[in-house]
Amino acid sequence: NMLAGIGGIDLVLLVVAADEGVMPQTIEHFEILKMLEIKNGIVVITKSDLVDADWMELVKEDVKSTVKDTFLEDAPIIAVSSYTGENIEELRTLILDKVKAVSSRREDPSLLRIPIDRVFTMEGFGTVITGTLIEGSVSVGDEVQIYPGERVAKVRNLQVHGDMVTTAFAGQRTAVNLVNVKKDEIKRGDVLAARGSLKQTMMLDVKIRMFDDAPRTLLNGSRLHLYYGSAETLCKAVLLDVDALESGATGYAQLRMEEEIAVRKGDRFIIRFYSPVETIGGGIILDASPPKHKRFRQEVLDGLAVKEADEEDAVLEQTLREAGNNLLSNQNLAVKLGRTVSEITSEITRLAAEGKTIRLTDDIYVHREFIGRIELTAKGILAEYHEKNPVSSGIQKGEFRKKLADKLYFKDVKAIDHLLRHLVQSEYLRDLGNHVALPSHKVEYKPEHLAVLVRLEKRYLDAGFEIPELEECIADEKDKELARQIIESMSESGRLKRLTYQYYMHSSHFDEAMKRFYDHMNKQGRITLAEYRDLLNTSRKYAVLILEYLDQQRITAMADDARVLL
């Protein structure tokens, strides 16, 4: 119960009874407070009326010894009696003064989280959940999501400490009346949060600290009870930098869950040994959705050290570095790092100005190191292609995308398109329409290539307006792939005009066809297929190829049975 409620606490009262002193449960609760990094508190010694002054001094010394070198070392210690009223008013004043000094929590609605500790049905209202609003804010009418899972609900009513409100804020005990979700679809330990604001995971990267008096050693592979928010689940601890953690020791670990959970970077947790159930330590979540790690990998440990230091720009840069080919939008990054989109946008823009990140789209950035690998890989693919195909103007975009995706293990086609656009804009490659090439690439014809070029060009010249299909034109060539590349090269250089994937015509004939077309349009303003066929003295098959090309280029459009200029 203490663990379930601790998430909303900014100020603690460590209560010690004067007639009993510091008890074992006091020590255990205090260890948990330290582990969860509660920052502010007051020590209250109760039942002061039951002991004399000498005994009270002994109790105070016991308390001081317990809190030495902790967040309560300099905290005020006040003795009170609810029976006589001694120092009760002074305690109230002290609490109010301390509360004023507590830093405010983030209240952006996109950060909303309420670990659910109770769910019930209220007659006339429906489903109600209660919990401490640990982050963000929520208002009547908001759409929310229950994690883990896909359950979406709407907020009908809100109560804070029994009072009806329209908005509840971080730090408040809150009851939320929900519609579109049933009581039996929610359980204690679930989290109510802004829709799409959390990512469900089966693994966590964490920093573990063992209690100074932990009763057991934590061994690699140990099964544990994990306590976070209002939830408890089972997990396995994979120690990443040591084989075992003794009492008082710290270390990096990956916790592998037995069921999906939804948490955020920076959340605190407590661990208990599986059997017997004994509290042994706790820690902080460094990555709430990591990949699976192998142990003792220095690059993994270095990355976790950056995340533990928690310098915002450095953490964001490290996250992008680790993302690699998994392109993350600003929204994705906000969810992963537990920040708002505006915070991420500001930080990532700053990193881009420093040359550490590269902008691919309005809300997708990648790390400079990753782009460097992309550029080298792309250059390698094109250099190899040009060496093997010297007469080709460039590699087809589809083939280039596939090669790039295969070498970099990309599955997202859109991601490849973003990268291709960046490479063109950065002049690492040249866009030739359906092909791409290195900017420095020039078609080189060997004597044997020139002979093929002459033959192919002659066929297109001899064909006139009887436009040959590509396969027909290269039918007599021994090296048909070479012939195709030479035809594409002639198209890129302007010797041939490409009408479709399979049909090219000599540019001199195309120019003549266009001259006759415009002469007619200047006089008539419209042209039918039959009229154009007669102008070229060819068949409908070839005339329509040219007219459909003009349609595709948005030079002409159909109007009834004729074409007109756009």
CB 121 within 8 A of CB 134: no
The answer to whether residue 163 scores a pLDDT higher than 90 is yes
52-69: per-residue pLDDT in tens? 999 999 999 999 999 999
CB 141 within 8 A of CB 155: yes
The answer to whether residue 9 scores a pLDDT higher than 80 is no
Confidence of residue 448 (pLDDT cuts 50, 70, 90): confident
The per-residue pLDDT for 303 is: 98
Ranges of beta strands (E only) in 100-171 are 113-122, 126-132, 137-139, 143-147, 151-160, 163-165, 167-169
Whole-number Å distance between alpha carbons of 437 and 386:
8
In the chain, CATH 1.10.10.10 covers 455-566
Average pLDDT of the residues in 445-458? 92
Q: Assign domain 109-194 one CATH number from 2.60.40.10, 2.40.100.10, 2.40.30.10, 3.40.50.300.
A: 2.40.30.10
Type of residue found at 535: L
Average pLDDT of the residues in 118-146? 95
Structural tokens at position 362: 């309005």
Half-sphere exposure of 554 (CA within 13 A, CB side): 0
The answer to whether residue 352 scores a pLDDT higher than 90 is yes
* Cα four-point dihedral sign 345, 305, 251, 290: positive
The per-residue pLDDT for 32 is: 87
CB 27 within 8 A of CB 279: no
Q: In what order do the strands lie in the sheet with 77-79?
A: 11-17, 40-46, 77-79
The per-residue pLDDT for 362 is: 87
The answer to whether residue 126 scores a pLDDT higher than 70 is yes
Confidence of residue 35 (pLDDT cuts 50, 70, 90): confident
Q: Calculate Rg over the CA atoms of the chain.
A: 36
The per-residue pLDDT for 3 is: 63
The per-residue pLDDT for 1 is: 61
Structural tokens at position 177: 């009346």
| Residue with the two structure tokens 């691919």 | 360
Percent of the chain at pLDDT > 90 equals 83
Structural tokens at position 500: 């479709």
CA angle, 117 as apex, 116 and 120 as ends, to 5°?
90
| Alpha-helix residue ranges (DSSP H) falling in 231-362 | 298-309, 312-323, 330-337, 341-353
The answer to whether residue 4 scores a pLDDT higher than 70 is no
The 8-class DSSP code of residue 110 comes to G
Beta strands 11-17 and 40-46: pairing type? Answer: parallel
What's the CATH number for 455-566? 1.10.10.10
SS3 425: helix
The answer to whether residue 171 scores a pLDDT higher than 90 is no
The per-residue pLDDT for 497 is: 96
The per-residue pLDDT for 128 is: 98
191-237: per-residue pLDDT in tens? 999 999 999 999 999 999 999 989 999 999 999 999 998 999 999 99
The per-residue pLDDT for 488 is: 87
| Residue with the two structure tokens 């020791």 | 249
What's the CATH number for 2-101? 3.40.50.300
Q: What one-character-per-residue DSSP string does 440-499 give? A: T------HHHHHHHHHHHHHHHHHTTSPPBHHHHTTT-S-HHHHHHHHHHHHHHTSEEE-
The per-residue pLDDT for 412 is: 77
The answer to whether residue 411 scores a pLDDT higher than 90 is no
Cβ-based neighbours of 369, under 8 Å, separated by 6 or more: 321
Whole-number Å distance between alpha carbons of 87 and 97:
15
| Size of the chain in residues | 566
Cβ-based neighbours of 268, under 8 Å, separated by 6 or more: 35, 36, 37, 228, 282, 283, 284, 285
The per-residue pLDDT for 5 is: 58
The answer to whether residue 6 scores a pLDDT higher than 70 is no
The per-residue pLDDT for 281 is: 95
CA 398 to chain centre: 27
| Alpha-helix residue ranges (DSSP H) falling in 237-311 | 298-309
Average pLDDT, the chain: 94
Whole-number Å distance between alpha carbons of 202 and 420:
34
Q: Tell me the C-alpha to C-alpha distance, in Å, between residue 512 and each of 45, 464, 565.
A: 103, 10, 18
The per-residue pLDDT for 410 is: 82
Return the CATH architecture of domain 200-301: Beta Barrel (2.40)
The answer to whether residue 397 scores a pLDDT higher than 80 is yes
Whole-number Å distance between alpha carbons of 559 and 563:
6
CB 441 within 8 A of CB 394: yes
- Other C-beta atoms closer than 10 Å to the C-beta of 377 total 15
The per-residue pLDDT for 219 is: 98
For the entire predicted model, the pTM comes to: 0.79
In the chain, CATH 2.40.30.10 covers 109-194, 200-301
CB 113 within 8 A of CB 199: no
Please state which of the ranges 1-10, 282-291, 367-376 shows the lowest mean pLDDT: 1-10
The answer to whether residue 8 scores a pLDDT higher than 70 is no
The per-residue pLDDT for 198 is: 97
Fold of 370-437: Arc Repressor Mutant, subunit A (1.10.10)
| Residue with the two structure tokens 């408040």 | 172
Average pLDDT of the residues in 73-100? 95
The answer to whether residue 101 scores a pLDDT higher than 90 is no
298-345: per-residue pLDDT in tens? 999 999 999 999 999 999 999 999 998 889 999 999 999 999 999 999
Run of H or E including 272: strand 268-273
Whole-number Å distance between alpha carbons of 68 and 477:
90
CA angle, 480 as apex, 475 and 484 as ends, to 5°?
100
